[in-house]
Structure 1
Amino acid sequence: MNRMLPLTLALLGSAALAAAPKDTLVIQQAATVTTLDPTAAYDTFSLQVLENVYETLWTYKGASLTQMTPLLASALPTYTDGGRTLTVSLRKGVKFHSGNPMTCADAQYTYRRDLVTNSAESANWFISDSLLGTRDNARTDKSVTWARIAGAVSCNAQGQLVFKLPKPDPAFMAKMAFAGMGVLDSKWATKLGEWNGTEATWQAWVGKDVSGSKLSAQPSGTGAYQLLRRDADNILLTAFPSYWGGKPAISNVIMQKVGELAVRQQAFLRGDADLIEAGTRTNVEAQLKGKPGVTVLDNLPSAGAQALFMNNNIKGGAALGSGKLDGKGIPANFFADTDVRRAFAYAFDYDEYMRDVQRSKAVKRTMLLPDTFPGYSKATKTYSYDPAQAQALFRKAQGGEVWKNGFTINANYRTGHIAGQVALELLKRNVEALNPKFRINIIEEPWAEQSKKMQEGLEIMLPMGWSADYADPDNFVYTFYSSEGFFYPTNNWKDADVDRWLVQARATVDPAARAKLYKQVADRAYQQSPFIVLPAETNIRPVRSNLQGASAATYNPMRSFGFTGTLWRELSKK
């Protein structure tokens, strides 16, 4: 391990910092890093550290979300066996922080451990879905056996890693670029008392929570930075002297938990912190933009999508009011009427939302897929605010009964979701202006309550979003639009053609053919309006002006999770 400079030690101890030295990157954020075990990591703050301590087989090339570049693989692999086999040659001469050489056995151990310990609380469900054909572990799905796990990931006689998929998955390469898929040091993990990788012991580790593992406390990756010290509020990392990719310009990285936004902003303005969790666009523009020593990267792409959900089959409860179309409530199938959903879509003022909420720094999307992702349909139509169209559709809905009798809807937003609250308020104003018998009650509720209710189908209308796990359209389009997707219980919209197209897209490796299928989904969704697609705010990121390597040209929304969009090893300070 490298020795730390005395000044670096002093910096670690307090939020009241001296100016960050040239060889040290100081990052301040509001949240705590929950785990440094890649197998368990599924939160952005942990993954930001892990992508610099561990390395995946390949990663995104620069700012691109469609091109990959080798990392621990010596070259990008190609599919064989009709898209069901991927054979990966590994880079030679790579060492872990422990000093152990990286071999195929380490990669094999890593992905088998992912499949063994897989749980809904980790990202391993989407790897299991690809490699085993199920999102569940062996405890839940009895078809998952050791033979299937061992057959899915193995090393051949040439020392190459071989993935065997039960069916083609065009998203698999993107899934494997997820920061939590970094290769583990199997000898080090076994020495610490973690799973030893054998058939004899695997069942004891099925579904096990490894977020607090010994590997989390003492990580050993191949990345450019290694852990020196960690406590409840601080993490100190230093450049790994035997890193295969060469010595980075930044020697030390300090991450500090600083809960108060104002404190983080002042540290940033003084130059005590190089990167901070800076709050909303409004905060950045009001407090940081234009200040000495500050560069603001703006109009950066987003890897998320937001919508207002309209539940087609509400599962009952007092929230329905009278439960009838009598002006005092709504029936459970109120939003099952396409005319009702389309009327609401025309009643939303997209331009006002972009102007007032997103300060005109937004993109109006055709579908619930980031517009920088492959498969995005630019040609699909979008809704615009049109009160005349909204009124005509409301008059038509339910044979005129909606317009005649009116309705009362209870729409919820989670505590702290300001953009969602404002979106509902805009919709309420416009809908209620059409007919005095229309009423929308907006209610705040805690996330713990809302997350449970949405999965039980009890929410009526609510703002909700999704951030990318991996840069493939399936991660969004299937999630939102499929009757087997994550959000189906929340909106209960089902279209047999859409379901069929999405299944086909999941097994189609030709990008053009997949794009055609996704356009069909987008066009059908425009016709049916299962969601009100909210405009996507572009990202804004402040950095200290002396920090080099962070720019709009290099920013990748799938990397560095909310800060520079690049790896620490690519940064320097002048």
Structure 2
Amino acid sequence: MLNKAKFMMATGLITLAMASTSLAADHVLKIAYQEDPKTVDVQMTQDFYTLPLNVYDRLVEAETSGPGQSQLTPGLAESWEVSQDGKTYIFHLRKGVLFHNGEELTADDVVYTFDRMLDPKTKALSTDILNFVDGATERLDGSATTVPGLQAVDKYTVKIVLKEPYAAFIALLASPGASIYNRKFTEPLGDKYGLTPETTNGTGPFKLTEYTLNDSQVLEANDKYFKGRPKLDQIVIRVVADAETLRLLFESGELDVFDIDYASSQLPYFAGSDQWKDQIRSGPRVGIYYYHINQALKPFDDVRVRKAFQMAINRQEILDKNFYGKGKLENGVMPRGLTCYAEAKPIEYNPQKAKALLAEAGYPNGVDIKLTQASNWSSRWSDMNQIIQAQIKEAGFNAEINTMDESAYFAARKAGTVDNYTQNWSADFNDPDNFFYTFFSKSGTSVRGYNNNDEQVFAALDKARSMTNPEERCALYQKMTDRIVQDDAAWVPLFSLDHNYVVQPRVKNFVVPWNGWSDMSYYKMEVE
């Protein structure tokens, strides 16, 4: 039972916040975060993107174009060209775009932004989006003070030169980490940038005007936004950690949007409510739940054991029990909605065939294995491990669940000695490289503890990164799906989920974001 005083305090705080702003703003959207993002410097976070997606813009934007789908559209760059060899990108900036402090966007700001990210003094977290830029490695390791691949050709033209072709580069530039800063404003602030409204400056549709740590943030419409003023006057974001409090705040009208991700157990309640069932907005997330397999550890060094593990897991039962069936079984590396996605060959659930494969591999009486989880992970992972532990016993897998400190888990994963674990991955950018290279490249399979040392896969994934023909590139990824999942049995793809929200009737034009984050741009949204 929720503490009444706690609820009254939470609702009272929001009401006070709204009272302080309602005189100046008629169209206010009220949303919530479960944690405080701590900074609006997107180069210093990889978890909290709501503020960056509304305060900043990027050269290119990834806009939701349909359920679980996106398209790349011009952002701060009104157009661009790519050289025939796929290495040189010329971006033509829009003229007259203003930062919130009144400074006009120039090519120098773009070069500064990316150089700041690569400057080792910044200690930025998303430098991998610039890995392919000529000179990026040297700037990042401190052996150079400039980046030859970043050039301001003139006031409104940016030239970016890559060391080698990278087909996903434009998609990467649409990720939140590629948000553009103003040199004149940002440079003098150093590591103080983005900690307060006074130290934050973007070109985006909303300006940060209030920031109370661990309590709230307020965004106000940018009247001079280059795409046109937002329909919303303000966005009030509250920090509310407790899931039940979030639901009660929503039902009392103190919040306009309830993200079911913050309280998945509430989905049956809303779906069964006459008041709310028609206010549920749902869309597929471009992400995948999976079970990792470490081929360096016995018995998983034998492909027959890996295939048996795949067939011993009843994935539909997990989807139904833990996620109310709101998703779709996945059989490959690419989830639905991702560029190049195609239906993969289904993985059969067959405990008896799995048992026969174990016997064929030399384990007629079953085999002992470990399933790993970190102690501070949410209960969803332990719940899944317990279900899988029970499921695979029928096939002869005697599983022990090993709970370890998260730092020890990451150390073991990096060293390639971690036992099998379940996790999920959502698209950072809409390209197959974000999934294939992350898990099954020579570096990815090593640092994530898969040890799927398939030279044919390594060569294909390296080749795919530089291919300029989209159809041929997609065909190669689809071929590698079969090799990785069917031939190598390198992991167990589980399912992709739907992302569900409940919105107040006053909220209009709500679109579930394609990528599966809870973070989104609110530029096109309206409230009555």
Q: Same fold (TM over 0.5)?
A: yes
2:100 aligned residue: 97
**Deviation, structure 1 residue 492:** 1.2
Q: Cα gap change, 1:448/1:58 in structure 2, threshold over 3 Å: closer, same or farther? A: same
Verify the 8 A CA contact 2:288 2:330 in the aligned structure 1: no
CA distance in 1: counterparts of 2:193 and 2:317, whole angstroms: 46
Query: Which of these residues, 84, 88, 112, is aligned with residue 87 of structure 2?
Result: 84
1:146 aligns with 2:102: no
Opposite residue 100 of structure 1, the aligned amino acid is E
Structure 1 CA distance for aligned equivalents of residues 369 and 479 of structure 2: 31
Contact 1:29 1:256 in 2 (8 A): yes
Q: Is the 8 A contact 1:73 1:91 kept in 2?
A: yes
Matched, 1:306 2:289: yes
Aligned to 1:57: 59
Out of 306, 325, 329, the residue aligned to residue 341 of structure 1 is: 306
Alpha-carbon shift at residue 428 of structure 1 (Å): 2.2
SS of residue matched to 2:431: coil
The gaps in structure 1 that reach 5 residues or longer are 1-9, 195-209, 314-331
CA-to-aligned-CA distance 1:430-450 (integer Å, 9 cap, x gap): 332244xx4211233343332
What percent identity do the matched residue pairs reach? 22
Whole-angstrom CA distance in 1 between matches of 2:171 and 2:203: 20
Structure 1 segment 413-432 matched on structure 2, within 5 A: 413-414=373-374, 415-432=376-393
**Alpha-carbon distance, 1:222 to partner:** 0.7
In structure 2, the CA distance between the partners of 1:418 and 1:119, relative to structure 1 (3 Å rule), is farther
Pick aligned residue for 2:449 from 490, 493, 500: 490
Change (3 A) 1:390 1:121: farther
- Per-residue displacement from partner, 1:346-389 (whole Å, max 9, x unpaired)? 111122122212222211112122211112231x3121211221
Alpha-carbon distance in 2 for matches of 1:52, 1:216? 14
Q: Secondary structure at the match of 1:539?
A: strand
Change (3 A) 1:538 1:288: closer
User: How far apart are 1:118 and its partner, in Å?
Assistant: 8.3
Comparing 88-97 with 354-363, which one deviates more in the overlay? 354-363
Work out the CA distance in 2 between the residues paired with 1:11 and 1:54. Answer: 29
Letter in 2 for 1:107: V
Does the Cα contact within 8 Å between 2:286 and 2:335 map onto a contact in 1?
A: yes
Q: Are the structure 2 counterparts of residues 522 and 219 from structure 1 closer, same or farther at C-alpha, using a change threshold of 3 Å? A: same
1:15, distance to aligned residue in structure 2 (A): 4.0
TM-score by length of 1: 0.82
**Equivalent position of 2:5 in the other structure:** none
Distance 1:306 1:294, change over 3 A: closer
Q: C-alpha displacement at 1:212, in angstroms?
A: 6.1
**TM-score after normalising by structure 2:** 0.89
Q: What corresponds to 1:524 in structure 2?
A: 483
Match of 1:448 in 2: 407
* 1:545 alignment counterpart: 505
What secondary structure, in the 3-state scheme, does the structure 1 residue paired with 2:461 have? Answer: helix
Distance of 2:460 and 2:121 partners within structure 1: 28
Q: 1:13 to 1:124 in 2, by over 3 A?
A: farther
Deviation, structure 1 residue 116 = 1.8
Unaligned runs of 5+ in 2: 1-8
Counterpart amino acid of residue 245 in structure 2: V
Q: Distance in 1 between matches of 2:178 and 2:442?
A: 28
**Are the structure 2 counterparts of residues 447 and 303 from structure 1 closer, same or farther at C-alpha, using a change threshold of 3 Å?**
farther
Report SS of the residue matched to 1:131: coil
Distance change >3 Å, CA 298–CA 570, structure 1 → 2: closer
State the Cα distance separating 1:14 from its structure 2 match: 1.1
Specify the alignment match of 1:242 in structure 2: 224
Work out whether 1:511 is the aligned partner of 2:511: no
Task: Say yes or no: does 1:130 pair with 2:132.
Answer: yes
Shift of 1:486: 6.1
Look up the equivalent residue of 2:428 and give its one-letter code.
Answer: D
How many equivalent residue pairs? Answer: 509
**Maintained 8 Å contact 1:238/1:252:** yes
Whether 1:36 aligns to 2:36 is no
* Contact kept? 1:300, 1:539, Cα under 8 Å: yes
Specify which of 515, 518, 523 is matched with residue 558 of structure 1.
515
Cα distance in 2 for partners of 1:291, 1:412 equals 41
SS at match of 1:82: coil
CA-based RMSD of the aligned residues comes to: 2.7
Q: Deviations over 1:452-511 (max 9, x none)?
A: 322222321111222222111101111111221166442211111111110000111211
Q: Which amino acid aligns with 1:465?
A: N
Query: 5 Å matches for 1:262-411?
Result: 262-278=244-260, 279-287=262-270, 290=273, 292=275, 296-313=279-296, 332-378=297-343, 380-397=344-361, 400=362, 402-404=363-365, 406-411=366-371
* C-alpha distance in structure 2 between counterparts of 1:376 and 1:385, whole Å: 23
Match of 2:85, SS state, is helix
Residue 417 of structure 2 corresponds to which residue in structure 1? Answer: 458
Task: Please say if 1:72 is aligned against 2:76.
Answer: yes
SS of 2:500 mapped into structure 1: strand
Aligned residue in 2 for 1:569: 523
Helix, strand or coil: the match of 1:375? coil
8 Å Cα contact 2:64/2:70 also seen in 1? no
Structure 1 residue 569 displacement after superposition: 1.8
Identify which of 94, 113, 119 aligns with 2:116. 113
- Write the distance in 1 (CA, Å) between the matches of 2:501 and 2:101: 35
Which residue does 2:431 correspond to in 1?
472
1:25 aligns with 2:29: yes
